[in-house]
Structure 1
Amino acid sequence: MPHNKFKRIDTTVLSERFRVVTEQPQNEIYISDLLNEIHLRNVIERIKPNFATDRDFVIGSQLIKRLGFLLVVPSLYTFSTDRITMSLDWSRTALVPKVKDGLWLPDLYLKNVVGEDCSDALEEKREAYFEQLFQQLAELVQAISQATAVPRPILWENIVVYIYWIYETVVDWHHDTTIMNQFYEDFNVLIHQLSPEVFGERFNPIQRFYNGYHYIAPEQTFRRVRTTCCFNFEASSDEKYCNGCPQLAVNKEACRATHEAIRQQTNSYSL
């Protein structure tokens, strides 16, 4: 019996948890249009009233955060759970502007909900899919960096924090050993096997920003602290910091304590 190459993607979880919609919207912004500088600048002006700043620098950072969540999370989640690749035809994939609880949180419109079944030739198809996904993301990173003057490392970390979330947190939604192992295998490939050239950089950002957790003493918890700042506190009227913001006082102190502990441990090894 021939292997069925294409399968319909189950969008239940994607719709409930990852803001994916499949009904034709009215005011969509196609992802491919963001690669055009004129269209991109128009979009930045269009969404600017939703933020507590008029600085393109901050808007660019916030835009890539939304894009990172919507383009990366559903794609990698679908692949790691079902071994199905979502379409990367961004002329058929769009942002749908939406404000929720005062925050600009767009949905992702998918015109095509059929993907390729990668169960056969998994390693080859996985590598090809991951490379295509991040090569296309690299084009968005480059376009937004040029239009808003945000350094590319900031934009990349805005994306990769969601990858860590998928493979460190979302994986716990599943208790099936097979699926959990698929998550672990894919994460290993993303961190260790994708070359810097895929990202158009001299480094693999998924690997570069994969720092350990820091102990936050006042809260008695461990937290991943970012290397760069996304400037969310400038974008929100209440000046809200992200939990992992490197400019947050408790995070700064936690980082200092961690680095001091590592230094002391290193010194003890050298005695």
Structure 2
Amino acid sequence: MKTQSRLEVGELEYVIKNFYFSIEQSPHSTSSIRIVDLLDGEKCASYLDELTMVLQSPSRMITASQFAKRYAFLTLAPGLYAMTMYNKGLDLSIESSLLESSATFKKSWSARLCAPDLQVNEPAAGKRDEWRDEMIRNLFAGHLAKLWRSISEAADIPMAILWENTAVRLYSLYEKRMGEGSDLQENKRIQEDFKYLISTAPGILFGETDNPMARYYYPACTISSAVQPVRMRKTCCFYYKVSPDEGYCSNCPKVKHL
């Protein structure tokens, strides 16, 4: 289903520059944690409590939601972008991933995903569909689903919030970051991969009974507070609880849009 490959220099540079990704550990990060360690309940709770102080968040649950939004982007962006745009798979297994971050006690927190032993592969001839399933399963069922369950238990946060935080990042990646490909083949992969992820991919690839990316996808609507149509959320991510101006997201379900 797959063969060994590598990212070209330009491809790697793009992923590093645009998606806060690295294949080398930074000597400047103030914190580094193996993602697999967050599957331990006590370590997960301790990490979220430390981040709660940094973000000046009112609770571990709200911190968990903000963390999930950021971490979903850090994993999905390089993994899915490479899969669709480069037709290459990045090994972002939970065991080999590190989260490096820098923080101050002024609601300032930046983080990046580091894969120091990155392995790259590509689909064998005529086997892209099977290869794509393997890439999706590794990224979601083998990584995010395990982490979300640990965080859900440690922070007493519903899985629905964590999965919608994830889905929002995925939609944005395909609708805004990828946009139009440079050729017909790229455009075809963008459309086919996105459609598969949000409609027909089975729940087992995500470590769930049903496909959580399909659960929150529906047409965007026009609202008075936004210039462009937005896809309203079903769950609240609680960003307004840590926002400097206590503002709500434009697609927040807690706000009544006329």
Q: Is the pair's TM-score, using the shorter chain for normalization, greater than 0.5?
A: yes
Q: CA deviation at 1:146?
A: 0.6
Deviates more, 1:95-104 or 1:206-215: 95-104
Q: CA deviation at 1:189?
A: 1.6
Distance 1:4 1:227, change over 3 A: closer
Matches within 5 A, 1:61-210: 61-99=65-103, 102-118=107-123, 120=125, 121-136=127-142, 137-172=144-179, 174-210=181-217
Distance 1:119 1:77, change over 3 A: farther
| Contact 2:92/2:118 (<8 A) preserved | no
Q: Look up the equivalent residue of 2:14 and give its one-letter code.
A: V
Distance 1:222 1:23, change over 3 A: same
Distance 1:99 1:119, change over 3 A: farther
Q: Look up the equivalent residue of 1:22 and give its one-letter code.
A: I
Compare the two structures and name the one with the higher helix fraction: 1
Q: Look up the equivalent residue of 1:223 and give its one-letter code.
A: V
Tell me how far apart the structure 1 counterparts of residues 41 and 89 of structure 2 sit (CA, whole Å).
29
- Secondary structure of the residue aligned to 2:179 is helix
Q: CA deviation at 1:74?
A: 0.8
Deviates more, 1:178-187 or 1:200-209: 200-209
Q: CA deviation at 1:220?
A: 4.4
Per-residue Cα deviation, 1:209-255 (whole angstroms, up to 9, x for no partner): 002111023544311111111001112332132232112333xx3xx
- Secondary structure of the residue aligned to 1:169 is helix
Q: CA deviation at 1:78?
A: 0.6
TM-score by length of 2: 0.88
- Secondary structure of the residue aligned to 1:98 is strand
Matches within 5 A, 1:234-249: 234-249=241-256
Structure 2, unaligned stretches of length 5 or more? none
Structure 1, unaligned stretches of length 5 or more? 254-271
Q: Aligned pairs, how many?
A: 249
Per-residue Cα deviation, 1:72-91 (whole angstroms, up to 9, x for no partner): 11100011011111113323
Per-residue Cα deviation, 1:170-216 (whole angstroms, up to 9, x for no partner): 12263322112111111122122322233343421110100211102
Identity of aligned residues (%): 27
Tell me which residue corresponds to 1:257.
Answer: none
- Secondary structure of the residue aligned to 2:221 is strand
Q: CA deviation at 1:20?
A: 0.9
Tell me how far apart the structure 2 counterparts of residues 225 and 206 of structure 1 sit (CA, whole Å).
14
Q: Look up the equivalent residue of 1:44 and give its one-letter code.
A: L
Tell me how far apart the structure 1 counterparts of residues 118 and 134 of structure 2 sit (CA, whole Å).
19
Per-residue Cα deviation, 1:97-140 (whole angstroms, up to 9, x for no partner): 13499532311112133300125211111112112221121111
Q: CA deviation at 1:147?
A: 0.6
Q: Look up the equivalent residue of 1:108 and give its one-letter code.
A: L
- Secondary structure of the residue aligned to 1:28 is strand
Tell me how far apart the structure 2 counterparts of residues 242 and 176 of structure 1 sit (CA, whole Å).
34
- Secondary structure of the residue aligned to 1:113 is coil
Q: Look up the equivalent residue of 1:107 and give its one-letter code.
A: R
- Secondary structure of the residue aligned to 1:8 is coil
Tell me which residue corresponds to 1:14.
Answer: 15
TM-score by length of 1: 0.84
Q: Look up the equivalent residue of 2:81 and give its one-letter code.
A: Y
Q: Look up the equivalent residue of 1:129 and give its one-letter code.
A: M
- What is the root-mean-square deviation in Å for CA atoms of aligned residues? 2.1
Distance 1:84 1:96, change over 3 A: same
Tell me which residue corresponds to 1:40.
Answer: 44
Distance 1:172 1:140, change over 3 A: same
